[in-house]
Each structure stands twice: as C-alpha cells, then as structure tokens.
Amino acid sequence: MSEIPTTTVSDVADDAVVIDVRETNEWVAGHAPSAIHIPLGDLPARLDDLPDTDAGPVAVVCRSGGRSGRAVAWLAQQGFDVVNLEGGMKAWHAAGKPLAGGDGSVIL
C-alpha cells in the first residue's frame, strides 16, 4: 500500500475548498467555510460533485483524519489529486481556523 498524501492545517488557506467526508450531524456542528459536504459513504455516487483537482490537490477532511485518509486513498485510485488534512477538523478548530455552521461541539 502506498503512502497517503497529507497536508497540514497551516498549509491550507482559511477559505480553501476542502472535501468534508463527515456525517451530516458533524457537518451541521461546524465546518470549514468553503467546504463541500460529501459523507464518506456517498463518495462513489457523488464523484461529479467533487471540485476540479487539475489546478492542484484538494484537501479532504473528517473529524480526526481516519475517514478522510480512506477517502484520499480511494479518490487517488480514481485519478483525483487529493490530500488528507492531518488531524482533521479537530486540528482545524484547534488552530483557530474559521468555522461555518454550528458551535463546533461535535468537532471537539
């Protein structure tokens, strides 16, 4: 198995488009402002909803990095240029990055 490409919160702009693969209740509690919500289980059916990765890699995020790591491995096999956001939304929130939506209670 090849290494999953990753990026850190500090390398992702506050307004970057990211793919959030968390469940709906987690998304509602708070998400990156420009995120696209596609729960992990919906990815295969929603490939047309993914942002264009021709201009460079797009970060994929979940709560802590596990689900997004699986998503990145699968999406990379499909030809998408994606990276796993290390630490997930927990790291995003801890770094003081902006949140849209709820109060972040599910993230913490």
Where in the sequence numbering do the catalytic residues fall? 62
20-47: burial string, b at 16+ Cβ within 10 Å, e else: bbbbeebbebbbbeebbbbbbeebeeee
The secondary structure of residue 97, as a DSSP letter, is -
Residue given tokens 């796993």 in the structure block: 84
H-type alpha helices, 38-104: 66-77, 88-94
- Taken as a whole, the chain contains a residue count of 108
Task: Tell me which DSSP letter residue 52 carries.
Answer: P
